[in-house]
Every structure is written in structure tokens, then in C-alpha cells.
Structure 1
Amino acid sequence: MTTAPAGFDTGTIGRWIEDRFGVTDFDVEVMSIGRSNLTFTITVGGLPRWVLRRPPLGHSGGSAHNVAREGRIMAALAEDRVPVPTIIDIVDDPEVLDVPFVFMDHCPGFAMNEPADWARIPRGPGPGDRRSCAFGMVDTLAAIHAVDIDEVGLGDLRRPGGLIERQLRRWLGQVEDVALREIPIIREVHDALLETMPDPAGSPVGLAHGDFKPNNMIFAPTGTVNAVVDWELTAVGEVLTDLGYFIAMLTVPEEYTSIWVPTPDLGFPEPEELIDRYQEVSGHEVHDVGYYEAFAMWKLACIREGVYTRLMTGKMGDLDLDPATAGDGVEDLARQAMTLLETA
């Protein structure tokens, strides 16, 4: 076994794996994606077999890093038509690891992390081409929003008030509680979002993924979505927040998100086409997309500031972030959000 990265105790977890599966020889790698909960691939005989997901180093609570909650959501959706990884166990045993973790089967396929991944899918036109892959992402989003949360046992995720109102309060609080820098525009955009918030009573409500974008899906070679991952920000509330976030992620500069997304010049549909597809498949009347995009941009700014703070305080593990640039873009993202609000 190779030396494991920070956050993975090869001794105690190794004994747990041996007791559970009879496997003693394995290697561990940090996944290159993800900037919050830490995700490790466990390979046996050179082949990926399992995935372990745990909170970030220095975790001190908060639902955003509650991997047990995330694992429970994925396990509940396994019997629905939403594609998710197969959860093997949710472990909360300090003798194995000092924080809870989710242990799951490795899902075959590839994530959308770079142009080479998108290039695996034929340009088309035809079945299994890039446009059908993109529309499949939208169909998957609509399937998430169609989940009967009571039927799958997730009704207790409901919270009083609207999702946007709760998240505005939560993300602002997190930034102001832990940030190492003063960034007034964060509060300015928060106040503008609160003042212009659409009436929650007029918005469809359901299970909102919270971080729905191409690199949080695993694709088959045909472009079919094999699984949706990273459910750590999932909540019940206005589902159009997911659609606005998905559209916003297609326009945010890559240097501000650390992810690559396909663009129309590479065969990805235009945002208007994606919105029309969602409205057709979901049956929801889409409105205030500009507002939901602005909300997404602001949330990205808050998340980026949180990542910067954890990095500077040594709580991001072995991930490949440069401290000199990790904090860039927070103000720009917030200003883009304000511009979207002003032009919506």
C-alpha cells in the first residue's frame, strides 16, 4: 500500500476494509475534483473499486460538510429514477476515523473535468451526441426535482421558510464568521438579493441538489448520466435555484471555479435551449432566471471565500490549490451577481 494522503488513516481504515471485505492490499488517491468534502479513490489490483468521502480537515460542524447526511440522501435516491453511486455504508466510528465517512462503490464512467472529456462524446448530430448529452443533464435535473421526498424518506429535510432566504442568511453568516478578509460587496449583493427575492409561494418546491454542474456528474461513453455526485449542499426548496446555478456555471470564468465546462462552440446547447428543455421536461414554469443566476454567482463568491479561508488555515488536505490565486475572483463574482440583478 502506498502512503495515503492527509485525511485517510491507512491503519484504522485499512483494518476496517480488511474486516469488511477481506482486502489488505490497496492504494489510495485523492480525487482531483472537489474543494470541500474530501474524496478518495481506493484501488485494488490497479483498478478503482471504492470511494471514501469525508469532511474536510479541521471540520467543526455544519450541514454543508455533513457526509452522513449526504450519504443518506444518495442511499434514499437509489430506488428512484435519479442516478446515484451505490452506497455501501455510512460509518460513524471514531475507532475507524475521527469523523464520519461514506463508503461507496466506484461508479464507472468519467466526469466532465476538461475538454478531452467532452471530446469523448461524438459531436453529432445523432443519438449519443453532445447535444443529447447536455439535454440528458437537464433531464436528470428535472428528475431530481420530481422526487417525492416523503416517498423516499427525505421529508425531514424540509425547513421553515424559503430556501433562498435560508441560504442568504447561512452563506453570509459563514463568510462573516470565518473570512480572513473584508469584502463589503458580499453583503451589498446579499441585501440586493434579499430585497428582490421572488415570492417563494410562486416557485416550484422540491429536492434541490445545490451544486448541479457538469463535473458533478459521471458519464457513460454514450454521454448518458451514470450518476450525480456531491450532494452536500442538497436541501428542499425552490428548485429553480438549481437551474439558475447550472446556467450560471456555464458562463463563470474557469479561473474562478477551478472547473471546466463545455460551451456552445463545442456543441453544447445555448442557455435558452437548456431552459426550454427544462421547462418542457419538468412541467415547471420557469421565471426569474436572471435572479437565480445572480444568486448562484453570489453563492459561488461565498464558497470561494470559504475555500480560500480553509486553504490559508491548512484545512484543505492535499488538493492542488495555489494560495497566491485561490482567493482571486471573489469580488468579481459578487459584482457579476449585482450586474445580473440590475439587468434581470
Structure 2
Amino acid sequence: MTDQRLPAGIEPSVVGWISDRFDAPELGWEVLSVGRSNLTYVVTVDGQRRWVLRRPPLGHAGGSAHDVAREGRIMQALGPTDVPTVTVLDIVNDPAVLDVPFVFQDYCAGFPLNDPDDLARIPEAERRRAGFNLVDALAAIHRVDVDAVGLGDLRRPGSLIERQLRRWLGQFRQISMREIPAIEEVHDLLLARMPDAAHSPTGLCHGDYKPNNLIWADGGDIRAVVDWELSAVGEVLSDLGYLIAMLTAKLDLTSIWVPRPGTDLPSVDELVARYEEASGITAHDIDYYQAFALWKLACIREGVYTRLVKGQMGDLDIDVEAAGAGVEELALQARALLGA
């Protein structure tokens, strides 16, 4: 509900900053996201002007996770490019305004694809085009010259895939309370079968590219790509493999609803062909990148399962046994894609 009360995570000093900066004495607040993700609020003036404010979750202690300032900087850098993105008005890192950094940006009208009702807002006759828009926007991200837009410092030594294999296996070993041999086995297969660097073009990767991290218009156009929290410079085909994995995996294993290729969207083959055409990149080893995405989802799911068992997920309505059962299934699907 939008009213004059301040939601959790917002201090009167933030109201003062917005009022002074934008000549907006009376503000209304609507909370769009809560919990363990970055907090997102719509700020309104007289029910007309609207902005969005994003800050880390409550209790955030710093570090690379939930780095909204980094996310805002990436969106600012992409402003002059072909990537559809939200206009960032300011990135504020001033304890006198708020004890954590926040990003203040224009409001982008539209909707994410969170459920079938959202998809119904796109006419059936436009959904095929919407599917191609999905990969066209991804190709635009991968065409970005990171040095030209000032994001070259996001590069890290070595392979992004290799770093993530090491990171997620380490987290799995640290948190899991049970033996799941398929996780270790698929990790070793992925490490041994990493594609040749010559077939692995690098560039800006979104890191979590799927339909509900886009803002859509009713006609199927994409107005903005959002949630850049996991972005990095690395093997761009990891984004495409992740997208295909999300579009094709069983819905009860992805934890979110995703439209289906060949039913709601063009087929996987058509989407890959369109990506190659739009990006100029040949989609080598796409089964590998899809397998990597499924394996990573398995590791993430095991973390959720362990926290559920330990009672660390609050009152979220998640079936504990169902969450745990999907971990091995995802790993085995990844192994099948690797031909093992």
C-alpha cells in the first residue's frame, strides 16, 4: 500500500535527500521486494512522478553480495548502449543520508514475467516476437565493449566458469549435511570438459538472465533488463546456457515460473539461431553451459534445503523434502547433458 509512512529500510534523511534534490516535499512509498534480496521501493509524488530506490537487505554487512552501488554503476554505463536498461539518476554512498549505499533511478513502467497471468498480458500473436526479443536483448548485452563503456575493471584473471565451479563446490561442501555424489561427479566433469578458450568469447555477462529479470511491455517489447547483481565479465555463452536451462527445466526445480519454448515462445533451436544472428557469436558447446547452469542450480537448491532443515528460512512456505529431492535430479540432468 502506498502511503506517507516510511517502510523498513528507509530513514527520514532519505526523504530529505529526495525532497531537496528533486523538489518533492510529499512522498509516497510502495515496497516492491522484501526479504533477503535487495530491497526495492517505488517513490511517488502526487501520484504522478515516480522513481525507484534500491538498497541492500536489512542487516546487510557489506561485501560483494547485494552490492547495489556496483549494480547501479553497470546500469549507468549501459545507458548509451543498445541494452534496454533503467536510467540511473544517482548512486548515493553517504552515511549521513543512509547507512548503506542506494541507487535512485527512474521508474520503468511494465511488468516481469512471474506467472501465466503476466504472460497473458502479451497477446498470443506477439509471443513469438517476444521470445526473439528475449534473446535479442541478451545479444545486445554480449555485444557491449566493456572497455569503451568503462567496465573493463570488472575483468578477473582466468575463467569465470572455473571460478564459479570452485565457489559453488566450496559452498556446497560447507553447507550440505548429506552425501550427494552426483554434485562432486558433475563438478569434475565440468572442470575436465571446459570448452576451448577459442570457442568461449568473453564479455559482459548478466549472470541471472531470465524472463522475470526483464521489464516487459504489453506488446512483448523489453523496456529494461534489471537485477544486475550477479553480473561479471566472462564467458558470455554461460548466460545463454543459463537462459535455456531456466526455460526448459521442470518448473518445480527452478523455484520460479518460466514460459516454455515451443509453447509460449519459439523453440530452443530457434532461440539459439536468433541469438547467433543477433550477437555474431556461434553457440558452441551450449549443452555444456546448460549443464553448468543446472549444476549451479543444484548447489543453490542444496543451500536452501539445508537452511530449511535448520529452520533458518523464516516462515517461507516451501516443502522441505521436495526442495531436497530436486538437488540430485538437477545434477543428474546436468550429467546427461554432458553425455555421462
TM-score category, normalised to shorter length: 0.7 to 0.9
Aligned twin of 1:142: 139
1:88 to 1:209, Cα distance in 2 relative to 1, 3 A: same
1:1-344 mapped onto 2 (5 Å cutoff): 1=3, 4-6=6-8, 8-21=9-22, 22-31=24-33, 36-46=37-47, 49-124=50-125, 129-177=126-174, 179=175, 181-182=177-178, 184=180, 185-264=182-261, 266-306=263-303, 321-322=316-317, 324-325=319-320, 327-328=323-324, 329-342=326-339
Q: Confirm or deny: 8 A CA contact 1:183 1:331 kept in the other structure.
A: no
- Residue 154 of structure 1 deviates from its aligned partner by 0.6
Q: Confirm or deny: 8 A CA contact 1:36 1:316 kept in the other structure.
A: no
CA displacement, residues 258-298 of structure 1 (integer Å, 9 cap, x when unaligned) = 32211246431111111111112211111111110011112
3-state SS of paired residue (2:73) = helix
Partners of 1:58 and 1:35 lie apart in 2 by 9
The code of the aligned residue for 1:210 comes to: G
Name which of structure 1's ranges 75-84 and 88-97 shifts more when overlaid on structure 2: 88-97
1:312 to 1:341, Cα distance in 2 relative to 1, 3 A: same
1:226 to 1:44, Cα distance in 2 relative to 1, 3 A: same
Q: Confirm or deny: 8 A CA contact 2:136 2:278 kept in the other structure.
A: yes
* Aligned-pair identity (%): 61
Partners of 1:37 and 1:169 lie apart in 2 by 25
The code of the aligned residue for 1:280 comes to: E
CA displacement, residues 68-96 of structure 1 (integer Å, 9 cap, x when unaligned) = 11110000000111011111111212233
Partners of 1:153 and 1:216 lie apart in 2 by 23
Structure 1: gaps spanning 5 or more residues:
none
- Residue 212 of structure 1 deviates from its aligned partner by 0.7
CA displacement, residues 149-191 of structure 1 (integer Å, 9 cap, x when unaligned) = 11101111111111101111222334444x2634544333222
The code of the aligned residue for 2:317 comes to: D
- Residue 4 of structure 1 deviates from its aligned partner by 4.9
- Residue 305 of structure 1 deviates from its aligned partner by 4.2
Report 1 or 2 for greater relative contact order, CA contacts < 8 Å, sequence distance ≥ 6. 1
The code of the aligned residue for 1:255 comes to: D
- Residue 54 of structure 1 deviates from its aligned partner by 2.2
1:257 to 1:96, Cα distance in 2 relative to 1, 3 A: farther
Q: Confirm or deny: 8 A CA contact 1:4 1:29 kept in the other structure.
A: no
The code of the aligned residue for 2:32 comes to: V
- Residue 256 of structure 1 deviates from its aligned partner by 3.1
Partners of 2:202 and 2:193 lie apart in 1 by 19
Q: Confirm or deny: 8 A CA contact 1:35 1:316 kept in the other structure.
A: no
Q: Confirm or deny: 8 A CA contact 1:241 1:296 kept in the other structure.
A: yes
Q: Confirm or deny: 8 A CA contact 2:93 2:102 kept in the other structure.
A: yes
- Residue 205 of structure 1 deviates from its aligned partner by 1.2
- Residue 309 of structure 1 deviates from its aligned partner by 6.5
3-state SS of paired residue (1:143) = helix
- Relative to the length of structure 1, the TM-score reads 0.86
The code of the aligned residue for 1:115 comes to: P
The code of the aligned residue for 2:215 comes to: I
Structure 2: gaps spanning 5 or more residues:
none
Q: Confirm or deny: 8 A CA contact 2:262 2:268 kept in the other structure.
A: no
The code of the aligned residue for 2:141 comes to: I
Q: Give the count of matched residue pairs.
A: 334
Q: Confirm or deny: 8 A CA contact 1:57 1:316 kept in the other structure.
A: no
Partners of 2:338 and 2:7 lie apart in 1 by 42
Runs of 4 or more consecutive aligned structure 1 residues displaced over 6 Å after TM superposition: 309-317
Q: Confirm or deny: 8 A CA contact 1:85 1:227 kept in the other structure.
A: yes
Partners of 2:140 and 2:196 lie apart in 1 by 24
3-state SS of paired residue (1:130) = helix
- Relative to the length of structure 2, the TM-score reads 0.87
The code of the aligned residue for 2:105 comes to: M
Q: Confirm or deny: 8 A CA contact 2:199 2:284 kept in the other structure.
A: no
- Residue 114 of structure 1 deviates from its aligned partner by 1.2
